């Protein structure tokens, strides 16, 4: 089989609602790795959380790419390939944006989720990722750089804030929705697609042999950057509109069904 780059979003795509993976999909992923394909696990999650997922699948972690924080950090075999963080001026500007829109704020320092005010949405993030929380007095003062900042709130408020984002912020930052209650903010050139393109160049992958699976706003650029793009059935309309293919939902083992039924491996 020809060597492929295959990129997987995690939450609501590769992972079921309970955060686990079908055993049949684990077996298929191991087979793809054993056949010398390049696997990329791309998520808004931290690298610590993504590695836990990869470990639970049983893959060789020394031969895996992970794209964390929506592409702000790319690692291969645990070694950093690319990283770009928000600087102090970025942090202040984006925190002002979060505050003025009455959102809660959080980010990451090392293995911790850091936040200022107790809220139900940070608790959701902790449950999803399994990471520990750490309360800080001020995110602006707690660190001089972050891979991303997150504004948290009710889904209706998150959508409203995204749709009314000022042009000057759109010009300088990539602002996207992951889960309905998470508004995520990175430097403008940061996306999962950047990770895909870096890997294509590094691994000399034929563009025709690129594939990606996703479900949400933060997957759109990644899906547009590959030849075979696949939306799971539970994906948002915007994702389905740009994908050539659609498969079953994450809970119905949609990625496995597509992988075993796809005929044009070459």
User: Per residue in 191-221, pLDDT tens?
Assistant: 999 999 999 999 999 999 999 999 999 999 9
**Domains of the chain with bracketed CATH:** 5-83+190-261 (3.40.50.1000), 88-187 (3.30.1240.10)
| Cβ-contact 184, 150 below 8 angstroms | yes
Model confidence, pTM: 0.93
Distances (CA, A) of 231 to 36, 245, 255: 24, 6, 9
Condensed to tens digits (0 to 9), the pLDDT of residues 145-197 reads 999 999 999 999 999 999 999 999 999 999 999 999 999 999 999 999 999 99
Residue 209 CA to residue 44 CA, distance in Å, equals 24
């Amino acid at each position: 089989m020809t060597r492929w780059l295959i990129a997987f979003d995690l939450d609501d795509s590769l992972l079921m609602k309970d955060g686990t993976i079908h055993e049949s999909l684990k077996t298929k992923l191991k087979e793809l790795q054993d056949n010398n394909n390049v696997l990329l696990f791309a998520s808004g999650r931290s690298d610590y959380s993504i590695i836990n997922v990869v470990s639970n699948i049983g893959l060789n972690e020394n031969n895996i790419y992970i794209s964390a924080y929506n592409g702000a950090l790319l690692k291969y075999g645990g070694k950093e390939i690319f990283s770009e963080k928000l600087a102090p001026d970025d942090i202040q500007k984006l925190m002002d944006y979060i505050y003025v829109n009455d959102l809660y704020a959080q980010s990451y320092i090392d293995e911790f989720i850091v936040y200022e005010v107790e809220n139900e949405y940070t608790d959701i993030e902790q449950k999803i990722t399994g990471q520990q929380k750490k309360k800080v007095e001020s995110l602006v003062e707690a660190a001089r750089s972050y891979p991303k900042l997150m504004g948290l709130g009710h889904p209706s408020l998150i959508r409203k804030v995204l749709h009314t984002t000022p042009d000057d912020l759109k010009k300088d930052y990539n602002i996207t929705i992951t889960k309905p209650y998470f508004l995520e903010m990175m430097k403008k050139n940061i996306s999962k697609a950047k990770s895909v393109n870096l890997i294509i160049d590094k691994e000399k992958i034929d563009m025709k042999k690129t594939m990606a699976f996703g479900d949400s706003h933060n997957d759109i650029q990644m899906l547009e950057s590959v030849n075979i793009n696949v939306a799971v059935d539970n994906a948002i309309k915007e994702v389905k509109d740009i994908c050539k293919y659609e498969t079953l939902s994450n809970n119905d083992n949609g990625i496995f069904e597509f992988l075993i039924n796809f005929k044009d491996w070459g």
